Amino acid sequence: MKVDSFVRKETYIFLDIEADVVRGKQHIIEIGAVKWLPNDRVEFFSEFIQPYKFKKLNNRIHELTGIHTEDLLSAPPFKQVIKRFKEWTQGNTIFVTFGEFDRKLLEEELLRNRIKRRFIYPIVDFQQKYMIDNQIKVQPSLSDLMAKFDVVAATQHRALDDAISLFQIFKAADGHGMIEKQKTNQFALLLNESHHGENGAEVYFTYVTGEVFPSDIKIHSMDSIHQSLSCIKKEREEVQEDGSIIKTECHEILPSEELAKFLRSIVNDLDRKVLITRSGLRQISRLSRLHQCVFPKTEVMTLQNLLMEPDAVNQFTMNGQTLDTYERKIYKLLFKYKYKLIKEFKRRNLITGQVVKV
């Protein structure tokens, strides 16, 4: 039986935000939202917001959105609008955004105004859900998906119009089915450190798998590898603007079959797991490409965003420890910060079963 054949109990709220830079920081200037109730009834919310000490709208934002300075000067402040928005969103709701920007900006604005953020969770990034479902690496724009699903909007880059477009795309793509299908309690933590020298690089990987429960976590496995990668010196030619050629010496790291085998085992194990890294996949991706390993598109988290404190993230570095000692430390740290991990799983509506309000 298909997921979308079940009776939907949740109310979805499709959210879009327009923002402007005021005094060096992004501030919300418009909120638009569509509420999709279980009985298929649809409601709308749309309001301008006047940022604190606002004077004039950025010309680029005016040209992009069509919003005028006067629209904002006569608008209520954030606290008044968000109070009405919170009342409008009451119920068993799941927020849906397109990309991370709207969630991050709304969280920052609520924090800046000392307003509890609990009511906006769980919140789902549909752009990421769509990329996972279709295993694509390049982020599609809202316009790309509007074209794909024949969604037409009177205007774009206005909060309510974009929220309506997201709602229509969500229905056409069976977004509810995507969300249910991608729910998982499983996670994989992948930590990597590389130390480069003249003769090569010392590379360390630690891979941890586990499971999240409503009030606890369980570690299933932990494996580590240390490889000394050799390098060869190569001469590279660079053509200058005047046509002259400058030769420079560079070092090319050579792959290791043992590390390639380790990385392939991780790639094969990542199905239906949330991948957690220290700060993203950039450094890991360089090594995976070197070893011809392609990571699948999956739900991702970073320790930077989970822990929010550099000192806490730095605890996950090796600092010259042996792999055995490091693994024991990682085990303890995961339990130390387990509630932050559990909270983020709940905030993203990932835990299997009923929707959990955070």
DSSP calls for 171-235: HHTTHHHHHHHT--SEEEEEEEEEEEETTEEEEEEEEEEEEE-SS-EEEEEEEEEEEEEEEEEEE
Q: How many domains does the chain have?
A: 2
How far is it, in rounded angstroms, from Cα 264 to Cα 291? Answer: 9
Does 72 reside within a domain? yes
- Scan for tokens 């090319």, then name that residue: 252
CB 290 within 8 A of CB 255: yes
User: For residue 344, which of 299, 298, 280 has the smallest C-alpha distance?
Assistant: 299
- What single letter denotes the amino acid at residue 54? F
Does 356 reside within a domain? no
The answer to whether residue 3 scores a pLDDT higher than 60 is: no
Q: Is 341 buried (19+), middle (13-18) or exposed (0-12) by CB count in 10 A?
A: buried
State whether 17 and 138 are in the same domain: yes
Of the three residues 136, 156, 181, the one that is the final residue of a domain is 181
Does 355 reside within a domain? no
Q: DSSP secondary structure string, 269-280?
A: H-TT-EEEESS-
How far is it, in rounded angstroms, from Cα 255 to Cα 113? Answer: 51
Does 278 reside within a domain? yes
Find which of 58-72, 222-236, 314-328 is predicted with most confidence, using mean pLDDT: 314-328
Quote the pLDDT of residue 5: 43
State whether 36 and 176 are in the same domain: yes
What count of residues does the chain have?
358
User: To the nearest whole percent, how much of the chain has pLDDT over 70?
Assistant: 96
> Predicted confidence band at 273 (pLDDT cuts at 50, 70, 90)?
very high
Of the three residues 156, 181, 206, the one that is the final residue of a domain is 181
Peptide bond into 122 cis (omega under 30): yes
State whether 154 and 242 are in the same domain: no
The answer to whether residue 120 scores a pLDDT higher than 90 is: yes
State whether 140 and 75 are in the same domain: yes
Does 162 reside within a domain? yes
State whether 30 and 89 are in the same domain: yes
Does 46 reside within a domain? yes
Alpha helices by DSSP H, listed for the chain, are: 59-65, 69-73, 78-88, 101-112, 126-134, 142-148, 159-172, 175-181, 257-269, 282-290, 303-307, 310-314, 323-336, 338-347
State whether 143 and 226 are in the same domain: no
298-325 average pLDDT score: 95
Report the largest interatomic distance among the alpha carbons of the chain, rounded to a whole angstrom.
Answer: 71
Domain CATH for 11: 3.30.420.10
> Predicted confidence band at 8 (pLDDT cuts at 50, 70, 90)?
confident
CB 160 within 8 A of CB 16: yes
pLDDT one-digit tens code per residue, 197-255: 777 889 999 999 999 999 999 999 999 999 999 888 777 777 777 878 887 766 778 89
State whether 72 and 35 are in the same domain: yes
User: For residue 186, which of 220, 156, 160 has the smallest C-alpha distance?
Assistant: 220
Q: Is 222 buried (19+), middle (13-18) or exposed (0-12) by CB count in 10 A?
A: middle
The answer to whether residue 4 scores a pLDDT higher than 90 is: no
102: its two tokens: 């709207």
344-350 average pLDDT score: 96
State whether 206 and 250 are in the same domain: yes
The answer to whether residue 16 scores a pLDDT higher than 90 is: yes
Work out the mean pLDDT of the chain and round it to a whole number: 91
State whether 201 and 238 are in the same domain: yes
- Scan for tokens 């603007």, then name that residue: 241
Quote the pLDDT of residue 32: 97
Quote the pLDDT of residue 353: 67
The answer to whether residue 354 scores a pLDDT higher than 90 is: no
How far is it, in rounded angstroms, from Cα 118 to Cα 134? Answer: 31
Strands in 217-239's sheet, in edge-to-edge order, are: 245-253, 217-239, 200-212, 186-197, 274-277, 300-302
Does 327 reside within a domain? yes
Of the three residues 181, 210, 245, the one that is the final residue of a domain is 181
- Structural domain range at position 343: 186-347
How far is it, in rounded angstroms, from Cα 41 to Cα 56? Answer: 38
State whether 149 and 220 are in the same domain: no
The answer to whether residue 115 scores a pLDDT higher than 80 is: yes
CB 327 within 8 A of CB 161: no
State whether 101 and 140 are in the same domain: yes
User: For residue 140, which of 103, 176, 98 has the smallest C-alpha distance?
Assistant: 98
Instruction: Tell which wins on pLDDT, 155 or 290.
Output: 290
CB 105 within 8 A of CB 86: no
- What single letter denotes the amino acid at residue 76? P
State whether 124 and 145 are in the same domain: yes
- Strand partners for 205: 192, 225
Does 89 reside within a domain? yes
Quote the pLDDT of residue 6: 53
